[in-house]
Structure 1
Amino acid sequence: MKLNILYLAVLIFIGNNLFAQEETTESPYFQVENELPKDFDPSSFALINSNVSVQVSGIIAEITVEQEYTNNSDLTLNTNYVFPGSSQSAIYYMEMELNGRVIKAKIKEKEEAKEIFETAKKEGKSASLLTQHRPNVFQMSLANIKPKSTVFVRFKYTETLIPNKKTYEFVFPTLVGPRYATIEMAAKDSWVKNPFTNKDAANYQGNKPTFSLDLKLNAGMPIKQASWFSHPNANVLYLSESKLESSIINSKNTIGDFIFRYQLAGDEIATGLLLYEGEEENFFLCTIQPPARPTQTSIPPRDYIFIVDISGSMNGFPIEVSKKLINSILRGLNEKDRFNILLFAGSSEQFKTVLVPATSSYINEAMNFINNQEGYGGTEILPAIERSLKMMDDNGRSSTVIIATDGLVTVEREAIALIEDNLGKANFFPFGIGQSSNRYIIEALANAGMSEAFICSTEDEALKKAAEFKEMVTNPILTDIKVKFNGMKTYDVLPKNVPDLFGDKPLVVFGKYKSATDGKIIVRGQNADGKFNKEFNTSEGIQSPENGALKYLWARQKIKMLSDYNRAEPTGKLKDEIIELGLNYNLLTEFTSFVAVDDSQDQATEKSVPLPAVSDSSGAVPEPHEWTLIIVGLFLLSFLIVSRLNVSK
């Protein structure tokens, strides 16, 4: 019995630690699968150039990325390239070009795509495989890159640009970033120390790839100003009052993201209705500019419930910064506002049984309540969210739930669904803090609440972001928002419930429709001036084949929601739904991949470097969860062997 308990304890310990590591594992930069000869010249194979074309129309950005790989060696090579991308992107197309031949990739279920790729590799055929590791980390695998040859891989994606403080921002995460191959990372991933794989290494022997980006903007409204925040010396050419273009050519300064920002004249926000009629489905996207920001005296009465994680992992600066954030927000309220505090770990405790006025005496008492608590135990967030919602009365007030946590919590699918179902009743803002924050969970909470994910890993960063966070959550602009569709048969509308609007962000609603003849989209709410009412006639909407991106954007949002559910509580049904969406809408997801195989070529006869025997079944570095399964399997095998030995004795 003691032996059984020991093995169970070891399994639990290793499993928990490996799953925790999955949240912090860095992405490698480059990997060559072959066993290379000692005299191999690392500069003979490289990603030598990346070209990015960006077309922004209104709030929709269409991006085409071309990666150029060259093999100048005498060997046939197999490689993996892991790179960052936008977590908001909907990747819907990929192709590979070899010797002038263009092979269009097919979307397949992830395991099927991998099998097709591995088969092509064994048969000596050139192939490419694009997979998603995480929403913002992707892997390009190339098989049988022939000697003295060049391979072009192109993929396309789309995303929406939602303004913040009336500033639009397009971000292209660099394909060569220190976050993915720094000296500090080398301590975690030892093979990154190889000067062939680490482009930032002082002894790197290869050529750093060049990077070019061409951006064209058609804002649809007069542009006030525009510039590259990341590259201030880049030229911006205005073609008209609403159009411009800008290019960054052959840049080798690719450390950091490429960030382009612009504002519309009169501090306007693009507002209107976009329609797209497809062969089988029709899609719409409606953007509503919020009313003017109210003065402090005209802000509607506000209710705040702070859900504070006091589990053991929050000890130190995370809990101290959380206290400062709460104190700062409370001191900025007035006596018509109300608040309460719920602390959660193994169980949850609350400051008061009801919401209380934000008076100095109550605030002082509340801070003493928090200061007298110590971090302990595990973390379950669902009961705290349920208790907070029971306190909300939503009677002409802006009700907000603020969740301060490091994300190392138990978040059930019911918790995410509870937030989504109650957006019309309350607003939800997560504030992630801690060196080992679980970004997935914090982003899932933000996605469910249609808010922003504030995530801070250091105390200095947390203190700076706390001020920005306070500015956002204390300024509700439009409350009690209701969206109705008259004379327009809609379905699969996202979001299904609408939270209050904060700051200067617009309201964005999109979905599918069967009929839009003489229909109306009506948005009603409460603002500083009383009732807010905005109507959009579908006959005035912009209907164009160029709005085809709407179907990808809708599907991407739906997939994101299902993925959040699946991470919180994995089920086969959710996985099947994500796969179905990926296949139906031709989208890269965590369970679907793009694969392209050059079937026109003869079997490879060139000199090829053999792969290690252990690499025969996989074309990539095992994921953290794969290592978990391998190690757990070994322990189970050892457990069975030892158990049988004990029985035989």
Structure 2
Amino acid sequence: MTSTRHRRGSGSQGGFALVLAIAVFIVSLFLWTEARADTPAPPDAGLVRLSEMEESALLIRTVDAGLYVPAPLVATDIALDIAGPVVRATVTQRFENPSDAWVEGTYVFPLPADAGIDRLRMQVGDRFIEGEIHERRQARRIYEDARANGQRASLLEQERPNMFTTSVANIGPGETIIVQIEYQDVARLADGTFELRVPLAITTRYVPGDAPQFVAESRNAPAAVPDARRITPPLMHPDGEPANALRLPVSITARLQPGFEPGQIASLYHATLVERPGEGDARISLADGPVPANRDFVLTWRPAEEYRPSAALFTQTLNGETYLLAQVLPPATLGDDAPRQPRETVFVIDNSGSMAGASMRQAKQALLSALDRMQPGDRFNVIRFDNTMEQVFPAPVDATRDNLDRARRFVRGLDANGGTEMLPAMQAALVDATPQDTARVRQVVFLTDGAIGNEDALFAVIHDGLGRSRLFPVGIGSAPNTYFMSRAARAGRGTFTHIGDVSEVAGAMDALFAALERPVMTDLDALFPEGALSEIWPAPLPDLYYGEPVLMTARLDNPAGSMRLEGRMGDALWQEDLSLSDARPANGIATLWARNRIRAIEELRYQGASAEAIDAEVLQTALDFHLVSRLTSLVAVDVTPARPADEVLTARDVPLMVPHGWDFDAVMNRNPERQHRAALDPALIDRLAPGSPPGAGDAQARNGLALPATATPREWLILLGALMALSGLAWRMVQRRQSAC
């Protein structure tokens, strides 16, 4: 009997232990599931090994040997519709998610600095979701709410007038989401040739702070550039070319209807096919298929020999208002016989790391060519800058043979390295020791790629210190910061020249000096019949140099009668009357007018206007005309949730390609971790940048603890440990009861 009772007790105790273990397992599993739902992805989420990749993908290296982060792939199609000088561009971006995780992709990309971006559409399957314009912070809230709810959403934001960010939320594993952007632009007319520039690459912006740095070296943006992290996207390492060459492929097509029979049509940096299906019509495409997004696409066209355009007028009627675009080329012969005036020219050359390689060769050759143009009676100086600054002479000196030879030796010995501290060089170049000297024209020729993030500080210095000087930026390289160049030229009452290849140096510098050595057309004005004009931009009209057109937009109350343009070149008066009834109808003129208005309002800050008044005018104009601006963004949201609630969303930046001709190592020597950092989810960011401060979004990081270099399935291990501990306790209780019996 005793033996039987003991066996029943053992069975009863064993059953109790089993029930207890099962109960503990169910409770632990429930608690683990709840905890996992509120816990960020572990540090290894989204990391892959090369052996795990089954298809081509863009991989970012991490600090863990053999582990990579798959980045979203972006393929871009650009369709250009050119009517006269007016351009309507459609940019289609295809975001492909090669990973097995739900992803938010962020892509920083360039657009023309003066373009008006007025449309965003997102395609999900067969459906198109139209973007809506909102005040920037409101658009960001709408996007973030959609992202959190698992809805597909896209957001287009302006970082600079020529730099934009597309964010796309909730791209599923293996999915593709298409985002389409449309903008309005105008081709530039110079010396009888129309030129259209479509930027494809971004030169990495240098951000000055307490110490020279790219912002990627610090989590805290320098006060001078509070949005520094947003304008310094990660870069692909160029190793592995040509495999890297089409990681960001771009296709380009254009339809050209210039309003006259086109003569030569050329692409400066890409091979193209030109078809002429009919009179006055041309179709342009890339000859060798898609190209890498590493240098600007530049298309030029000229009229046939027997025709030279002198004026182009276009109008659009929108919401009962008439908008006018006028592009008028003054005669090139006016004032040609004026005597050459002696000049004082200060040449400034950028020899920072971003200029290394082809850009430095172009800049040195351009400066040597400019020194050869100096004549007896001229004065000059040469200043070079990286994160330091050096002047060849303490002040401008006479253009003697010895002084010019000394300057040439200095220029030939320059190497590119260091940061881009442009501000001290600009201040030094504008110092005028003889402001009352009317015998010489004072000019500053500034050769740079403009790779800076503190543009506003430079514009303020130009406005405050310009005096009688005139500023002539020369953009160097395959993807210069044209926003800085063109606006600096306007603020400096000069003109902007671009050199994209060594073969262009001689021609570009000859054209620049032809402009510098001819009289400037001043006192430009546009006169309309009484009651016809409502607003005109830019206002006032800028001075013009040789070969430049008058380019203006206006809103008219009455589009009847004639417009008179007049100006003065030396002692000669120029006038031209244009009948408004001859203007051709065209779409997009209102958008160009609004964009010019916003640009002009923004520049009032350097003339003492209050920030509040400027913001109010910019915001209202952008909302009225559905334009992306500093204060407005376009956002598109799919109402149907796509990402399951229990799936984690990881953030991925799309690294950009290194601009063509750029010396990657020369810049990265300033910041050896730059190529590894990407604004990914907090659990990954410290894996990408060894030695950096902890990730802002990680609980361990907030406590200042170093993240481990590897990760484990901690939820499973916690559960297993709890089960083992409780099972051991139950087994111990059974053993004690058995011993007692």
TM-score normalised over the length of structure 2: 0.60
Cα distance change, pair 541–303 in 1 and its aligned pair in 2 (3 A): farther
Shift of 1:119: 1.6
Shift of 1:342: 8.1
2:172 to 131, 146, 149: 146
Shift of 1:433: 8.3
Partner in structure 1 of residue 580 of structure 2: 538
Shift of 1:65: 1.3
1:36 to 46, 53, 76: 46
Shift of 1:201: 5.3
1:591-621, CA deviations, whole angstroms, 9 ceiling, x for partnerless residues?
432211111x146328734548997799999
Question: 1:583 aligns to what SS in structure 2?
Answer: helix
Partner in structure 2 of residue 136 of structure 1: 162
- The answer to whether the 8 A contact 1:300-1:527 is kept is no
- The answer to whether the 8 A contact 1:450-1:499 is kept is yes
Matched, 1:169 2:211: no
Question: How do 1:44-123 residues align onto structure 2 when only pairs under 5 Å count?
Answer: 47=73, 49-71=75-97, 74-123=100-149
Partner in structure 2 of residue 512 of structure 1: 555
Matched, 1:259 2:269: no
Question: 1:445 aligns to what SS in structure 2?
Answer: helix
Residues in 1 aligned to 2:268 and 2:380: alpha-carbon distance in whole angstroms: 39
- The answer to whether the 8 A contact 2:267-2:298 is kept is yes
Shift of 1:62: 0.6
Q: Which amino acid aligns with 1:594?
A: L
Matched, 1:526 2:569: yes
Cα distance change, pair 288–368 in 1 and its aligned pair in 2 (3 A): same
Residues in 2 aligned to 1:202 and 1:289: alpha-carbon distance in whole angstroms: 44
Partner in structure 2 of residue 496 of structure 1: 540
Identity of aligned residues (%): 18
Partner in structure 1 of residue 343 of structure 2: 304
Residues in 1 aligned to 2:596 and 2:581: alpha-carbon distance in whole angstroms: 26
1:284-311, CA deviations, whole angstroms, 9 ceiling, x for partnerless residues?
2222122134797x24543534245699
Partner in structure 1 of residue 39 of structure 2: none
Question: How do 1:159-308 residues align onto structure 2 when only pairs under 5 Å count?
Answer: 159-174=185-200, 208=247, 211-232=250-271, 234-240=273-279, 242-248=280-286, 251-254=289-292, 256-265=295-304, 266=306, 268-269=308-309, 271-279=311-319, 281-293=321-333, 298-302=337-341, 304-307=343-346
Residues in 1 aligned to 2:264 and 2:504: alpha-carbon distance in whole angstroms: 31
1:376-395, CA deviations, whole angstroms, 9 ceiling, x for partnerless residues?
9983867975958954769x
Residues in 2 aligned to 1:263 and 1:558: alpha-carbon distance in whole angstroms: 29
Matched, 1:330 2:369: no
2:460 to 395, 402, 413: 413
Cα distance change, pair 432–162 in 1 and its aligned pair in 2 (3 A): closer
Cα distance change, pair 455–536 in 1 and its aligned pair in 2 (3 A): closer
Partner in structure 2 of residue 25 of structure 1: none
1:305-326, CA deviations, whole angstroms, 9 ceiling, x for partnerless residues?
4245699999x99999898566
Matched pairs, number: 554
Residues in 2 aligned to 1:564 and 1:64: alpha-carbon distance in whole angstroms: 28
Shift of 1:115: 2.3
Residues in 1 aligned to 2:350 and 2:250: alpha-carbon distance in whole angstroms: 45
Question: 2:577 aligns to what SS in structure 1?
Answer: strand
Partner in structure 1 of residue 64 of structure 2: none
Cα distance change, pair 570–540 in 1 and its aligned pair in 2 (3 A): closer
Shift of 1:116: 1.9
Unaligned runs of 5+ in 2: 1-42, 58-70, 205-213, 218-231, 384-388, 411-420, 653-678, 687-691, 697-701, 703-741
1:386-406, CA deviations, whole angstroms, 9 ceiling, x for partnerless residues?
958954769xx9x56334476
Q: Which amino acid aligns with 1:251?
A: G
Residues in 2 aligned to 1:170 and 1:364: alpha-carbon distance in whole angstroms: 41
Residues in 2 aligned to 1:321 and 1:303: alpha-carbon distance in whole angstroms: 23
Residues in 2 aligned to 1:565 and 1:618: alpha-carbon distance in whole angstroms: 44
Q: Which amino acid aligns with 1:282?
A: T
Q: Which amino acid aligns with 1:35?
A: A
Partner in structure 2 of residue 624 of structure 1: none
Question: 2:291 aligns to what SS in structure 1?
Answer: coil
Question: How do 1:492-641 residues align onto structure 2 when only pairs under 5 Å count?
Answer: 492-502=536-546, 504-526=547-569, 530-542=572-584, 544=585, 546-547=586-587, 549-561=588-600, 572-573=611-612, 574-599=614-639, 601-602=640-641, 604-605=643-644, 608-611=647-650
- The answer to whether the 8 A contact 1:272-1:536 is kept is no
Matched, 1:379 2:443: no
Residues in 1 aligned to 2:684 and 2:592: alpha-carbon distance in whole angstroms: 30
Q: Which amino acid aligns with 1:328?
A: D
Q: Which amino acid aligns with 1:239?
A: G
Q: Which has the larger radius of gyration?
A: 2
- The answer to whether the 8 A contact 1:380-1:411 is kept is no
TM-score normalised over the length of structure 1: 0.68
- The answer to whether the 8 A contact 2:273-2:287 is kept is no
Q: Which amino acid aligns with 1:51?
A: D
Cα distance change, pair 533–51 in 1 and its aligned pair in 2 (3 A): same
Residues in 2 aligned to 1:161 and 1:330: alpha-carbon distance in whole angstroms: 33
Matched, 1:430 2:468: no
Cα distance change, pair 466–208 in 1 and its aligned pair in 2 (3 A): closer
Cα distance change, pair 305–65 in 1 and its aligned pair in 2 (3 A): same
Cα distance change, pair 40–143 in 1 and its aligned pair in 2 (3 A): farther
Cα distance change, pair 427–388 in 1 and its aligned pair in 2 (3 A): farther
- The answer to whether the 8 A contact 2:102-2:649 is kept is no
Shift of 1:154: 0.6
Cα RMSD between the aligned structures?
Answer: 5.5
Partner in structure 2 of residue 643 of structure 1: none
Question: 2:591 aligns to what SS in structure 1?
Answer: helix
Question: 1:268 aligns to what SS in structure 2?
Answer: coil
Cα distance change, pair 366–493 in 1 and its aligned pair in 2 (3 A): farther
Q: Which amino acid aligns with 2:290?
A: K
Question: 1:114 aligns to what SS in structure 2?
Answer: helix
Q: Which amino acid aligns with 2:89?
A: I
- The answer to whether the 8 A contact 2:157-2:634 is kept is yes
Residues in 1 aligned to 2:246 and 2:407: alpha-carbon distance in whole angstroms: 55
Cα distance change, pair 583–84 in 1 and its aligned pair in 2 (3 A): same
Residues in 2 aligned to 1:95 and 1:620: alpha-carbon distance in whole angstroms: 31
Q: Which amino acid aligns with 1:329?
A: R
Shift of 1:143: 0.7
Instruction: Tell which deviates more after alignment, 563-572 or 439-448.
Output: 563-572
Shift of 1:587: 2.0
Question: 2:553 aligns to what SS in structure 1?
Answer: strand
Q: Which amino acid aligns with 1:598?
A: D
Cα distance change, pair 379–588 in 1 and its aligned pair in 2 (3 A): same
Residues in 2 aligned to 1:112 and 1:66: alpha-carbon distance in whole angstroms: 25
1:351-380, CA deviations, whole angstroms, 9 ceiling, x for partnerless residues?
59xxxxxxxx87569869989x9xx99838
- The answer to whether the 8 A contact 2:366-2:505 is kept is no
Cα distance change, pair 441–262 in 1 and its aligned pair in 2 (3 A): closer
- The answer to whether the 8 A contact 1:427-1:499 is kept is no
Shift of 1:495: 4.4
Cα distance change, pair 451–178 in 1 and its aligned pair in 2 (3 A): closer
Shift of 1:64: 0.7
